[in-house]
């Protein structure tokens, strides 16, 4: 019962601080695992400090093969719990795990064309085209409302996107007529991409549309819906758009996040010929 109260207090505190629903869900799942670990190992760890308990928990998950990002999520959630819920003065001085330096999975322009050509449903095709052409996250695409789209300026106002920040992005005039058609008869607060039962599409449905199209197009890359956003950024940089403008369009707080795409398009590297 006490454990339930801890989680409830954590949820309330996260909501008060305006954390996103996704982050709240992740933090609570992490804390539930940490509390389960403490309960299960209560005898063997009772004399350990809080920092040592956290270290044992994180090492256990590292041994299980959890990614660096996952380990860091656990650490963030647990630190929040001790600091803000338990009001503990005991310092947890643990360093974050190294995260992988994987390059983003980018689709070529030809692959994007193949994906779009493989989709027969007009609404689904527009969903994928707009997500690529505007650099949208899947959550942003499904939450898009009529009032967010400016057909004359070819811009989209993304409201309270990741980090609760608003931003403007662009879309292509090629899909303007398709957008006009899907927006006809809808009010300002209606979703652009409604489900069959009204309301918005789910993230899972949007991702299924993408994976189905990827398979039908015969593309073997381990791409995801997010690859459309990666491709948007990479293709803009290839077109000569300044990385700072790309940063603004993507809504990255730090330009170093955007600069990862410059590694994908490195022209010097691509001009080197194999000695074989």
Show which residues are catalytic: 137, 162, 226, 229, 252, 261
Structure tokens at 75: 């650490």
Torsion sign over Cα 206, 119, 258, 165: negative
DSSP assignment of 208-237: HHHHHHHHHTT--S---THHHHHHHHHHHH
Structure tokens at 14: 């996260």
Structure tokens at 153: 């300026």
Helices (H) and strands (E) in the chain, counts: 14, 3
Rounded CA-CA distance 159/161 in Å is 6
Structure tokens at 173: 């005039």
Short-list 129, 127, 137, CA closest to 112: 129
Rounded CA-CA distance 147/187 in Å is 8
Is residue 20 packed enough to be buried (19+ CB in 10 Å), middle (13-18) or exposed (0-12)?
middle
Whole-angstrom Cα Rg for the chain: 22
Rounded CA-CA distance 157/167 in Å is 6
Structure tokens at 146: 């009529």
Rounded to whole angstroms, what are the CA distances from 4 to 39, 119, 170? Answer: 13, 46, 45
């Amino acid at each position: 019962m006490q454990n339930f109260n801890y989680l409830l207090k954590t949820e309330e505190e996260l909501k008060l601080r305006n954390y996103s629903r996704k982050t709240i869900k992740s933090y609570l799942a992490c804390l539930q695992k940490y509390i389960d670990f403490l309960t299960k190992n209560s005898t063997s760890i009772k004399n350990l400090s809080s920092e040592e308990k956290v270290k044992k928990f994180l090492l256990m998950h590292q041994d299980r093969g959890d990614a660096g990002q996952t380990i860091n999520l656990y650490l963030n959630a647990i630190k929040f719990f001790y600091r803000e819920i338990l009001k503990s003065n005991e310092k947890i001085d643990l360093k974050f795990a190294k995260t992988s330096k994987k390059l983003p999975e980018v689709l070529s322009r030809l692959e994007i064309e193949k994906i779009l050509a493989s989709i027969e449903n007009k609404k689904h095709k527009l969903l994928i085209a707009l997500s690529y052409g505007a650099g949208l996250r899947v959550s942003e695409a499904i939450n898009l409302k009529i009032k967010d789209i400016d057909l004359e300026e070819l811009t989209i106002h993304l409201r309270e996107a990741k980090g609760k920040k608003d931003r403007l992005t662009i879309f292509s005039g090629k899909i303007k007529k398709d957008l006009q058609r899907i927006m006809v008869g809808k009010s300002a607060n209606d979703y652009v991409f409604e489900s069959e039962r009204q309301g918005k599409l789910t993230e899972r449905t949007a991702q299924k549309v993408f994976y189905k199209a990827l398979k039908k197009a015969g593309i073997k890359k381990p791409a995801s819906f997010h690859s459309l956003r990666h491709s948007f950024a990479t293709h803009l940089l290839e077109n000569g758009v300044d990385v700072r403008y790309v940063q603004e369009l993507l809504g990255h707080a730090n330009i170093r996040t955007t600069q990862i795409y410059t590694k994908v398009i490195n022209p010097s590297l691509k001009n080197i010929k194999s000695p074989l």
